[in-house]
A and B are shown apart, each in its own frame.
Chain A
Amino acid sequence: MIKDEVKNALKETIKEWETKSPKRIYLTIDKKHLLQTAKLFFSDLSMRLSTITGIDNEQNFELIYHFSCDKSGEIFNIRVFLEKNNPEIDSLTKLFRASDWVEREINEMLGVRFIGHPNLTHLLLDNDWPKDSYPLRKDYTNE
């Protein structure tokens, strides 16, 4: 079972493991383990990165990496938390191209920095969008 392979490979790096519904598994890890976890999912277990969700919680930023295991139909969601005052994390573009655009989008919408991303420029917002104005943050208001 893929679930067991994941658990065995990641062992103590998994801080929390939830099976919210039969095909939706959420695992929380530290951001320093992101690259090795993503590498396990993509290279070893042939999973596909569907997308990344960025959330502005009151106390932190949360990123959820949704990996689809097409063989079993399950989605493995990697949850990482980032500090509010310095939200940065490794970019997955080192491993594959699928995260290129979605990381740019999270960068412009939430202000999260992706270390090692080759081109962290605006994707959807206009180039003259005010700096440090992040629409998806909870404290954003339309002026």
Chain B
Amino acid sequence: MSKRKIVPIGPYHPLQEEPEFFKLIVEGERVVDLEVDIGYNHRGIEKLAEAKHWDQITFLVERICGICSTSHPFAYCLAVEDLLKIDIPERAHYIRMIIDELQRLHSHLLWLGLAGHFIGYNTIWMWAWKAREPILDMFELISGNRQNYAMMKIGGVRRDMKKEDYQVLRKTIKELYPTLQLFQKAIEDDPVIQTRTKGVGILKKEDALSIAVVGPTARASGVNIDVRRDDPYAFYDKLHWSVITCREGDIYAKVIVRILEMFESCSLIEQCLDKIPDGAIEAEVRDIPPGEGIGRVEAPRGECIHYIRSDGTNRPIRHKIRAPSFVNVASNLVTVPGYTISDAAITLAAVDPCYCCTERSAVFLKTGEKILTGDDLIKLSIQKTENLKKDYGL
């Protein structure tokens, strides 16, 4: 019954009285150890799910996380459909994929913006979030809301797409390509960003396998996994796309993986729009018989897995949820120690913890005197960038 999402507080304003979310133990400038304290976001969703009807749970799980808000209902619907062993209409599969990939785009752009902010590049932040707005407009066009789209339903999707929307969506995706190319080039060409991110916060492949990280965090360390290819759902196995991996496992690898994934997402949406047939958008579902089901999707942060057990009544007797950040944040215990405090902000952010948890960090110096807050860590990080820029004469 835990809700699987960590990090409750916005990048600026943690409850700073006792910022004890992450404790970094340092010697001089180097972080030697890290303790993590989570649970500030725990709302008891698994227990709540046992008291709700099957169709109410899609709305409940949507609010586990605001950023990947469609991954959870998607995985839940797949879990119930696994139990029921039903087929859903083709059109529903395509609409689900379009929503899923749009979500990946908005999530990666959001992360790119925040990561830029943490290393002192506020322009990246503003531009990435500005590029994100047309995607939110697409969500509003298709589902009626910028966030919390409520599109998934057991047996299909809740709303249909209008034919007029295809053109608008195509145009938005087409206009996104040059922006993504701009970001890619900006990051590849900037020596300061390279210095800040290459060789920093390395997650080695053996650690990645031992901690069982998922998503871009895993793929950046050479672990070639992606639920869309390994255990395909919807029609991902019928479209042409690539799984992006890197070998270095540092922050730069994580950035590159996410940027290249955005290109793949754009291509996937265009392919869906080419292939989407007419037809029904839902299969009729009456009762949920006794049984068990497991559903998983590739959320922007990695594998999101739901397990449900039914005893034939109209509520589940158990609903287990494991969001990707639950495993990915644990990798910070290996990636933050060994590097400097000014790198802590960007390293903690690099796993994309469904929102940046760095603001809740505290640093305890070995003598136990000064306490630095999350804001201080961000300032240190920005200061490092300024110093590097001077060194490079920029």
Residue positions of A touching B, CB distance < 8 A = 20-21, 23-24, 26, 48-51, 53, 55, 64, 66, 68, 70-75, 77, 96-98, 100-102, 105, 109, 122-126, 135-136, 140
Residues of the A chain whose Cβ atoms lie less than 8 Å from the Cβ of B38: 123-124
Q: Which of B41-58 contact A (CB under 8 A)?
A: 42, 44, 46-47
A77 touches B305 (CB 8 A): no
**3 closest cross-chain pairs (CB), A and B:** A98-B212, A73-B231, A51-B322
Asked, given contacts A48-B209, A124-B2, whether A20 binds B291 with beta carbons under 8 Å apart, the answer is yes
Complex Cα gap A71–B44 (Å) = 34
Interface of B, helix, strand, loop or mixed by DSSP: mixed
Q: Which residue of A lies closest to B323 (CB)?
A: A51
Task: Report the minimal beta-carbon distance from B357 to chain A, rounded to whole angstroms.
Answer: 14
CB within 8 Å of A: which residues of B?
A: 1-2, 38-39, 42, 44, 46-47, 82, 85, 207, 209-212, 225, 230-232, 291-294, 296, 303, 305, 307, 309, 317-318, 320, 322, 326-327, 330
Bound-state Cα–Cα, A22 to B183, Å: 42
Chain A residues with CB under 8 Å of B292's CB are 20, 24, 26
A-B contact count (CB 8 A): 92
Partner among B42, B82, B212 whose Cβ is within 8 Å of the Cβ of A21: B82
Q: Judging by beta carbons under 8 Å apart, are A136 and B225 in contact? A: no
Contact A98 B225 (CB under 8 A): no
* Residues of A close to B207: CB separation below 8 A: 97
CB neighbours (8 Å) of B303 from chain A are: 50, 68
Contact check, B82 vs A66: say whether CB atoms are below 8 A apart.
no
Q: Tell me which of A102, A124, A136 contacts B39 (CB under 8 A).
A: A124
**Chain B residues, CB < 8 A from A100:** 330
CB distance from B45 to the nearest CB of A (A): 11
Are B47 and A135 in contact, with the CB atoms below 8 A?
yes
**A73-B230, A124-B38, A125-B42 given. 18 additional CB < 8 A pairs?**
A21-B293, A23-B231, A24-B293, A26-B292, A48-B209, A50-B296, A50-B322, A53-B307, A55-B309, A68-B230, A68-B303, A96-B209, A96-B211, A97-B207, A97-B210, A97-B211, A135-B1, A136-B47
